[in-house]
Structure 1
Amino acid sequence: MDVLSPDLLWIDDRCYRIHALGSDYFGPGSKSLKSEEVTGYDLNTCAENFDDDGDDTEVLSLIQTISEGRLELNLPIPQAFWSQIIGVKGVTKKRIESDTNTRIQIPRPLDHGDVIIRGSSIKDIILAKKCIDAVVSSSRQKLTFTHFISVPTNSDEIKRNFMNFKEEVLRYFGNDRGVDESIFQNPNKLHLTIGTLVLADQRERKIAEVKLNEICDQKIKPLLVNRDCKQLKLEMKGIEYMNDDPAEVDVLYGKIESKPDANLLQYLTNIIVEYFTQHKLIKASERQDVKLHVTLMNTLFREEEPEEINQEIAGLKRTKTIRKQRSTFNAVNILQKFQNYYFGQQDLKTIELSVRFSTGKNGYYKSSAVVHV
């Protein structure tokens, strides 16, 4: 499917864009798909997660009585997920309604309202919400991240030494396979990534901003005070690579740690990821030790012209533009020469909620939130 020209689904006088969830979604072989693969949720799993003992207290407080025997729950769900809740030909929405004895109202595409669940029992409405949550969660995991929690590592000293590193790499090893200027990071954008997030609308961005301030105020700042760290020092020294073959590298990064307590930075970043995971802003699969690294070279930065191929379909010729496959570079010589290269130190000054693929006035990424620590 062309993402710029998606299939359209009309329900009454409303038109929704349908975005496929995978390459085989309702395509060849779709007959073998399980129902949860088609609709994005499994009723049994949703029912098993139902807690009759009041674990859904917050949801209960939001359910309103609209008439005798009729209840309603408003869900602020980003518009990006509405078409997934509807499903191809409305199958997902209809199945949730059938499985939970509810009716689901989804706003018009140009509206900015909530998804509304109506039913006659609290249990049915909560179960419908859990099914919708499962669809949204499944869809969210298929999206690329829009924001990331970052620590800028672009002090004057680090930028200066990084530029020296870049110049020496190109001087000595510029002829090594895949090594060229385009794969180096912008020195103004050098950073440590703590975690990545998919924030689909302004409401979600505001929640992430609030949570970043909360965890920094409640945990990070008090911890630094207790450790008598008015300013935590960060030191960037040495290089490493992501792949298992130094001759086939996609990402080469600088190693970073805190001083004098080398474990403190790891502890702080883990706290942040755990907090965001608890509030379902970071995927549970990322809930592990944060990999402390500052990307220096990345083949995703490579400036490559897309290829154009001619296709003939049913007698019609058309030109299709495709991206070339990501190509690695040989980092063997770079790793040998710069294994312990010193980039410098800086204070931990800010933790930021950065916008992917953006540039602010200072040359760093635009920020949805900045917390001074």
Structure 2
Amino acid sequence: MLVGCSRFLSRVHWVLKFTNTYVASRPTHYCFQRQSDYHCLSCDFIMGGSGRKKRICIDDLGKEQKLMTSIWRPVSTKASSSQESLMKDSTIEPGDGGQIQEVGSNTSTTMGETTEPATSSSPLQENIENKMRDSSLSAEKHSVSVKVGAPLFRFIKGKGGYTQKRIEDEMKVKIIFPSSKEEEFVTVEGISIDGVASASEKIQEIIDEAVRSRNLDYSHFVSLPLAIYPELVDKLFDFQHSILGDGDSCIDENLDTDSNEDEDTTVVEEADQLSKKNADVAVELKVADDSESVKVNLTNISLVSYAPKASKSSAPSDLGIDKSIFIKPKTFHLTVLMLKLWNKDRVKTATEILQNISSKVIEALDNRPVSIRLKGLECMKGSMAKARVLYAPVEEIGCEGRLFRACQVIIDAYVEAGLVLENDANQRLKFHATVMNSRHRKRAKQKRNVDSFDARGIFKQYGSEDWGEYLIREAHLSQRFSFDEKGYYHCCASIPFPENMQVE
């Protein structure tokens, strides 16, 4: 059969040669049938040597580019004449009864390509179907939108975009951030459903870790405003000016310290100058001869005591004190609860919670006004020599505990709604009115890493200060870093407290 086929193909070749016909049409697909075996190919034939090469073109009609699979396989050890053949739109019946039938042509080809024997049509058909199925899936994109919130975008991106790039490379996805800060969704796109799902889970893990860490600051808090009283605001301004003034604050640098601080070089230099000026220091020097040797009789040196150096006030900056660590008088308040609300949904939920518990809060107050007294100063932790937070203690007038119970109602409502971090939920409420906090220090202003300040002089002057008595009029859901026209924190929601005694 192969010999007859070869001769016929040779004749066709010569006819095409003499007619100067150039065939650049789509390659011809043929099916060889013999002994119930079917073989398909779509290229030219060259037979010779100990083997033949086969190239099968698999067409995906759903894509513009064609997929090609090359297979090399020896099929014969017999030599035969090398002939080049090309057939188109014809059916050949060799003498041995075998049949070569054209089945179609749909891609471009070039004359003189090497060909190889056909393979079984059944595996080839399955391969084509699998390729087309995979191609269809690869062309399909899957996407998921994850609600994040603008404050958390930086954690997903990472430093220099490293975290985002790592997720995209590992999961084979694309993370798309919104162009506007008002939008809160991050879109994850990919060709694999599993990849998109894995990337979304990774983003959620990053969010959870960021929320628990200190890298994400508190965005809101429940406050009891005190800056509504002008007389109290004036007292706080006077307090700030007296500390940052030109020495009238009488902050003593010679107070004892509880740590091994470096000795003040200024004190040493002044002591040296004072000793040089003092003429009463007796040191007897006896020279035995003209040599350079000198004998000193130390037993005859009289001891001289000096009066203590006059107390001088240090510059506030030397004590770690600058204007940035003072609480702004127009934002003065009592803190009930700190919150991290990183998207609009959480802010809306927090707003609704405060408004819905208004009646419970008034009930906890026995529907009566509640007032507090501010007196003195205390350090939150540590010592006055290395203070971080300085505050005025809060005392409820009447000591009935009504204010504490009302605030606990607020805290419990937010904890039940899942808006309070676990560490914050486990802390016991302690009323305090902060006046200084080193955490608010503007780092650009400090020459070294100072995370505390010396409050001993401040305590000496204001340790028993009576700041006054004030009625608690309302509770706010306040937004940090945002202020109203009066200078107080932006109010997202508020509930009133009783101001007048109810008469039955």
TM-score by length of 2: 0.46
Distance 1:250 1:76, change over 3 A: same
Aligned to 2:296: none
Of residues 217, 237, 245, the one that matches 2:383 is 245
Distance 1:304 1:73 in 2: 40
Matched, 1:211 2:286: no
Aligned to 1:78: 149
Matched, 1:173 2:250: yes
- Give the Å deviation of 1:73: 6.7
Distance 1:303 1:227, change over 3 A: closer
Of residues 236, 242, 261, the one that matches 1:162 is 236
Query: Which amino acid letter does the alignment assign opposite residue 326 of structure 1?
Result: V
Distance 1:338 1:118, change over 3 A: same
- Give the Å deviation of 1:241: 0.9
Aligned to 1:8: none
Distance 1:167 1:114, change over 3 A: closer
Distance 1:106 1:304 in 2: 34
Q: Does 248-257 or 71-80 show the bigger shift?
A: 71-80
Distance 1:364 1:297, change over 3 A: same
- Give the Å deviation of 1:72: 8.5
Matches of residues 196-345 of structure 1 in structure 2 within 5 Å?
A: 196-200=338-342, 204-205=343-344, 207-218=346-357, 220-225=358-363, 227-261=365-399, 263-287=401-425, 288-300=427-439, 306=445, 324-326=448-450, 328-345=452-469
Query: Which amino acid letter does the alignment assign opposite residue 297 of structure 1?
Result: M
Distance 1:94 1:264, change over 3 A: farther
The answer on whether the counterparts of 1:105 and 1:115 sit within 8 Å (CA) in structure 2 is yes
The answer on whether the counterparts of 1:149 and 1:194 sit within 8 Å (CA) in structure 2 is yes
Distance 1:283 1:187, change over 3 A: same
Distance 2:395 2:431 in 1: 7
Distance 1:212 1:237, change over 3 A: farther
Matched, 1:193 2:335: yes
The answer on whether the counterparts of 2:220 and 2:341 sit within 8 Å (CA) in structure 1 is yes
Distance 1:173 1:190, change over 3 A: farther
Query: Which amino acid letter does the alignment assign opposite residue 147 of structure 1?
Result: H
Distance 2:156 2:238 in 1: 52
Identity level (%): 20
Distance 1:227 1:149, change over 3 A: closer
Aligned to 1:184: 326
Aligned to 2:135: none
Distance 1:248 1:283 in 2: 29
Q: What do residues 122-178 of structure 1 show as CA deviations (whole Å, max 9, x unaligned)?
A: xx9999866543321212332223333322112234334434544665634343552
Matches of residues 33-48 of structure 1 in structure 2 within 5 Å?
A: none
- Give the Å deviation of 1:341: 2.3
Matches of residues 87-102 of structure 1 in structure 2 within 5 Å?
A: 88=162, 90-92=165-167
Aligned to 2:222: 149
The answer on whether the counterparts of 1:353 and 1:368 sit within 8 Å (CA) in structure 2 is yes
Distance 1:275 1:127 in 2: 34
Larger radius of gyration: 2
Distance 1:105 1:299 in 2: 38
Distance 1:197 1:214, change over 3 A: closer
Query: Which amino acid letter does the alignment assign opposite residue 186 of structure 1?
Result: K
Query: Which amino acid letter does the alignment assign opposite residue 250 of structure 2?
Result: F
Distance 1:113 1:207, change over 3 A: closer
The answer on whether the counterparts of 2:366 and 2:402 sit within 8 Å (CA) in structure 1 is no
- SS of alignment partner, residue 459 of structure 2: helix
Aligned to 1:135: 206
- SS of alignment partner, residue 276 of structure 1: helix
Q: CA RMSD in A?
A: 4.2
- Give the Å deviation of 1:282: 3.2
The answer on whether the counterparts of 1:352 and 1:367 sit within 8 Å (CA) in structure 2 is yes
- Give the Å deviation of 1:256: 1.6
Distance 1:90 1:191, change over 3 A: same
- Give the Å deviation of 1:240: 0.8
- Give the Å deviation of 1:298: 2.9
Q: What do residues 26-47 of structure 1 show as CA deviations (whole Å, max 9, x unaligned)?
A: xxxxxxxxxxxxxxxxxxxxxx
Aligned to 2:485: 361
The answer on whether the counterparts of 1:300 and 1:326 sit within 8 Å (CA) in structure 2 is no
- Give the Å deviation of 1:224: 2.5
Distance 1:238 1:299 in 2: 19
The answer on whether the counterparts of 2:354 and 2:495 sit within 8 Å (CA) in structure 1 is no
Distance 2:143 2:413 in 1: 31
Q: What do residues 196-221 of structure 1 show as CA deviations (whole Å, max 9, x unaligned)?
A: 33344xxx245324424423532x53
In structure 1, runs of 5+ residues without a counterpart are: 1-69, 308-322
- Give the Å deviation of 1:296: 1.0
Q: Which has the higher contact order (CA 8 A, sep 6+)?
A: 1
